[in-house]
Structure 1
């Protein structure tokens, strides 16, 4: 297992898990199995999309994130607020009340990720004008999509937009602003309030950066509970927001694509729809598109499993808030930063092949799976604990289960093709 994949963004409460197999059928990378009546995750395959958390009827899947107490490890505390966060609150006419409340729960500085989003949009426009990128360009803002492309769609790696995610841009800018105030680097703690486990993974692992600009990743749900009371105590709010509509619209599916100012764009959300679009891109059936925005969560980041509000309600609230914002908060020229400042420091490479990176061995394993598969009923029922008959064969070949494992509905036929002694 790679070191990065040791970052488990979803864990299991075994007492709650009933082994119902809902998760194994919905996982887009077939990363979950049922073993001894309980779900377990093959973390090398996991893309941290949170679909298993969303679909589990027993609430047995637990997304991982840092507990709020981590902020006390730093003298100067910075909060990074995603645009989707504002949609969690009812009856908020001015987001400055939310930003001010962050100051009241212990943060010294608040910075909007929407500012980073606006700048990424403007750099994207610049790259389109240069016309040097391979089209269709695939957005890299959703880390679950990045992982999915790396694992299943290696032919599309060259289409990825080579830019930092807005949260990384915001973290860099926030650190610089605080440092200019004379705060020592080691005293600065930067914390992102995340709507989803994929962003927890990406920021912990540093998927597109060579150093981590974020020191901790908090849950929207936990921070929300702390803020609600504080907002109710406020008679007035400080004017802290610098974001415009361009940044706010990133919270919902289609917002990034609209900000790219590209006429021929496509926006899809929900992991199953994302997979369908990537398959269409890879096989060439999707044509006449220049920019593709993909979000693993339904409706975009407002649909993240760490949020507290229904994504459609949150999106409606954000639509109402748009009236209070200027079109653009901060322009590229105002930052004085070159395009290189916003470029990804690294992009995902093709993940490890299903059967390993030794080509000879991988080919032998593939042939073994194909032979084994011929002897199975091909019903993909999940009774064996794997999501499909192919996955069952892969588990045998890769040594995840014994070589004489039996298909439960194949009349005692073992995976190797012979009759089970039982």
Structure 2
């Protein structure tokens, strides 16, 4: 399995080489070269921010098609809590759950029910390990991957418990095998996801060797058919099959996970830029007396995922209204289910941002990058195809770019070269009256340099107008 698999893809045919994505990527994983963007898979954490901001829809998420249900004899749907927030005037989750059965799924297992079990296990884990506090939630795969590559000192603070989707998949698979008698490979466990990072988790999981989720479907793909099924279910006497309460449903939006821990000593942040700021402060030990840190890469939490259809802030209000009359919790961990919650493997630091293969080489290249940065204007304009001057300098020492990729550095060199050639031409003319051919060549060179500088100046004017 590729440990740097990522579910965010680029369609070169749609990319126009604008620099919107490179300015918003939190890990500086995107570069624009030869008028096309490219994604460095070692840096990418699949937060989906580039999908959200790309004006040309060149960034796309990879997920499974709905017709993959036909590959299995028995299918189980795992609806994310954020799925319930996509529908207007929904007052009973059982409408959604029964609509999934009408769509062709053989069974459903609520991820929100598994979330209540994870909340229960988290409360116990916090009470047993006061010395490791604060603990960082591992429910968002993008955050976990960010810590793995950029914040190695915080890895010991990661909560070593499976995310609710994995717990739901494990329990749903066991239930299906016991109920049907079918071998595991003929049973399809299918998660209905709000974001592409869950696809990455399933393909290359962290904290476990292999995910029990077989396919990941997108909420936006399922939405039209599910909406039609809900309309038919709403007019019938549908059974009550929901098994989650307020705690589980609340996991769909920011601070929902932390609220289920019954403590006030927590911090909740959403939006990848805010997440990075919190992690940097944690690395600097700026927080005290915190027991738990909940971080979500998407604005508003999972309701803000790029595979959803509803506005995240409207969706959050819908979830809060839906849970209003629910019991606090309806699912609890049984003794024979505790093994489904714990990690089976540890997360290792991946130094993908190192400039060298060893410490000495890294220091040498770092010094080289710092010297290069002094040549650049420090504007972080992105015209070179890198998000910042620092990123360009690092690309140069890695051998992925050149100094002349900086438009301002190139112009400065052209101006200086033009002046030097002009001085040389005058000197040659005064010393040797018979070198007319050489003089004409130099004058042509000066004309071409001046033309190139005019082009660069006009390009700057266009950028300023934009």
Output the TM-score relative to the length of structure 2.
0.85
SS at match of 2:191: strand
**2:321 aligned partner:** 320
For the Cα contact (< 8 Å) 1:250–1:256, is it kept in 2?
yes
Match of 1:180 in 2: 178
Judge conservation of contact 1:396–1:405 (CA < 8 Å) in 2.
no
Q: Residue 412 of structure 1: CA displacement? A: 4.0
The aligned counterpart of 2:303 is 302
SS at match of 1:337: helix
SS at match of 1:323: coil
The residue that corresponds to 2:358 in the other structure is 358
Query: Do the aligned residues in 2 keep the contact of 1:133 with 1:159 (CA within 8 Å)?
Result: no
The unaligned stretches of length 5 or more in structure 1 are none
Query: TM-score, normalised on structure 1?
Result: 0.93
Deviations 1:96-134 (A, max 9, x none): 111111111111111100111100100011112213551
Q: Which residue of 1 is the match for residue 399 of structure 2?
A: 399
- Does residue 11 of structure 1 match 2:9? yes
**Residue aligning to 2:192:** 193
Match of 2:380 in 1: 380
Deviation at 1:325, TM superposition (A): 2.0
SS at the partner of 1:11? strand
Cα deviation for residue 276 of structure 1 reads 0.8
**Most deviating of 282-291 and 139-148:** 282-291
Alignment match, 2:153: 155
Instruction: Determine if contact 1:147/1:348 at 8 Å carries over to the other structure.
Output: no
**Does residue 226 of structure 1 match 2:217?**
no
Find the residue that maps to 1:257 and give its secondary structure: helix
Pairwise CA distance, 1:160: 0.7
Listed as ranges, the matches of 1:269-348 within 5 Å are: 269-332=270-333, 335-337=334-336, 339-348=338-347
User: Residues 287 and 65 from structure 1, CA distance in 2 versus in 1: closer, same or farther, beyond 3 angstroms?
Assistant: same
Q: Does 1:55 find its partner at 2:56?
A: no
Larger Rg: 2
Deviation at 1:87, TM superposition (A): 0.3
SS of 1:348's equivalent in the other structure is: coil
Return the alpha-carbon distance in structure 2 between the equivalents of residues 347 and 214 of structure 1.
20
Taking the aligned partners of 2:86 and 2:18, their CA distance within structure 1 comes to 31
What do residues 354-399 of structure 1 show as CA deviations (whole Å, max 9, x unaligned)? Answer: 2244333323222221221121111111000000011111111212
Tell me, what secondary structure is at the counterpart of 2:279? helix
CA-atom RMSD in angstroms: 2.0
Q: Distance in 2 between matches of 1:8 and 1:144?
A: 10
**What is the CA–CA distance in structure 2 between the aligned matches of 1:270 and 1:18, rounded to whole Å?**
26
Whole-angstrom distance in 2 between the partners of 1:159 and 1:195: 26
In 2, Cα distance between equivalents of 1:158 and 1:56: 35
Matched residues in 1 for 2:417 and 2:358: separation?
32
- Counterparts of 1:264 and 1:287, CA distance in 2: 9
Instruction: Report which of the two has the higher share of helix.
Output: 2
Counterparts of 1:70-89 in structure 2, within 5 Å, are 70-89=68-87
Q: 2:160 & 2:288 partners in 1: Cα distance? A: 22
